[in-house]
Structure 1
C-alpha cells in the first residue's frame, strides 16, 4: 500500500525542465574553468547528483535552482583546479587544454539526430580560444573562477564570493588581477579572414616542405608547445624561435610521409588537423598577429582527441 507522501514523490518533478535546461550553462562554465571537456562532464554529473540527493521538499525550498546549480558547479571546479594543478605538474610534457572541433566536425558521428556529446552545448566565443584558455591555466584557481564567473558570465561579485569563499572586494581584486594577466599575455587579434589565410599559407608551405616560407610565416620569437600526455611521445619542452619551429616541422614531415594536413576550426579559430594514414594524430591551434604566427599548440594526447576521432573522420577538402 502506498502512503500519500510516497505517492507525492512519484509525481513528475515540476522543476525538471528548468533543471535540465541549466546543463548547457554548466558545461560552458565548467569547460572554461577546467580546460577539459571530460572534467566538465564529471563536474556537471556531480552537480546533478547532489541536486537529486536532496528530498523534494529541500529542492522546492531553493528559490533559484539555476543559481544553486551554478554555485555547486563552481565550488566543485574550484576544488578540482587545486588537484588538477598537482596532476599537471606530473604530466609528461606540457599540458594543453582539450581542443574542441567545430560543430560540423563531430555531428557526423551521431545517430538519430540526438546530441550525444556535451560539446554541442559549448558556446564558441573569444573566451574559448586556445590562447585564452592557456592564459587561464597560469592563474590561481580563485583568480580563474572569479574572472570567468564575473567577466565572462556576468555574475555579481557578491554571487562570486559565495562560490569562492572570499569577500566581494577580494573577488573584485582577483578578477582584476586575472584581467591584467589576459591583457599582458594576449596579442592583438587579427581579423578572422587574415588568420585563416595565414594558417592556409602555413599548411601549404608545410606540405611543400618550403622551410623558407615557413620561417617567413613564423614570428622570430614564436613558440611551439606539443602535448603528448604519456600515451604518445611528447615534446617535453617548448620549441622557441621561428626557424627552430620550421625545421622541427620539416623533420616531422620527413618522419611521417603519410601525413595529411586538413584545415579545421579549433576552439572557434582557424587550425589544422594532422591525419596519419587516415587517422587523426594531432590537432593544432594557433595564435597570430596580422602577419605571422606567434604561438602554436599541438595536441596529441588521444584522451583529448575523442571528439575528433569518434565516428566518421573528417574528409580532406576538395581544394
Structure 2
C-alpha cells in the first residue's frame, strides 16, 4: 500500500508543479502591484510569512500570521525598488523567487501550498550558504 501512496503522491507533485509556479507568479505580481484583493484571494486564512535573517540564530527569525499581516509584509517585500530584480526560480525544489541587487542574491523565497492557496512564505535574507538555486541550507 505504501508504494501506491508514494506513486500517487509523486504523480500529484508532477501534475501540480506548473500550477504552483503560476501561483507563485500570481503572488509576486499581486504583491508587487499592491493588488490587495487579488493577493488576499491567493492566501489561506491562517497563512504565515517567515523571514529568516540568515544569521543562524533564532533571534533573526520573524513570523507573521493571518491574511492582513501577511499581505502587508508581502507588499512591502515585493514593492518595486530601483536596482532590485525578482526572478522566478526553484527554491528547495519547489516554486520560488530569488531577489537580487546588482546580480547578487539578497533573498530567496520558497512558497508552500495547502491545495491551491499559499499557506507559508519562507523568506531567507542574505542566502550566502545557497549553493544551488534548488537547494537552500538553513
> In structure 2, do the counterparts of structure 1 residues 200 and 253 end up closer, same or farther at CA, with 3 Å as the change threshold?
closer
> In structure 2, do the counterparts of structure 1 residues 218 and 284 end up closer, same or farther at CA, with 3 Å as the change threshold?
same
Distance apart, 1:306 and its partner CA: 4.2
Q: Is 1:265 aligned to residue 100 of structure 2?
A: no
Determine if contact 2:51/2:123 at 8 Å carries over to the other structure. Answer: yes
* Higher share of residues assigned helix: 1
- Largest Rg, 1 or 2: 1
In the alignment of these two chains, the number of paired residues is 120
Show structure 2 runs of 5+ residues with no match.
Answer: 3-11, 134-138
Partner Cα distance (2:82, 2:74) in 1: 12
**Superposition RMSD in Å:** 2.8
Taking structure 1 as the reference length, what is the TM-score of the superposition? Answer: 0.34
Partner of 1:274: 99
Partner of 1:242: 67
Distance apart, 1:245 and its partner CA: 1.1
Q: Tell me, what secondary structure is at the counterpart of 1:304?
A: coil
Partner Cα distance (1:253, 1:199) in 2: 12
1:299 to 108, 116, 124: 124
Taking structure 2 as the reference length, what is the TM-score of the superposition? Answer: 0.71
Determine if contact 1:262/1:274 at 8 Å carries over to the other structure. Answer: yes
User: What is the 5 A alignment of 1:1-319?
Assistant: 191-230=16-55, 236-254=61-79, 256-308=81-133
Larger RCO: 1 or 2 (CA < 8 Å, sep 6+): 2
Q: Tell me, what secondary structure is at the counterpart of 1:222?
A: strand
Show structure 1 runs of 5+ residues with no match.
Answer: 1-150, 152-187, 309-319
* Higher share of residues assigned strand: 2
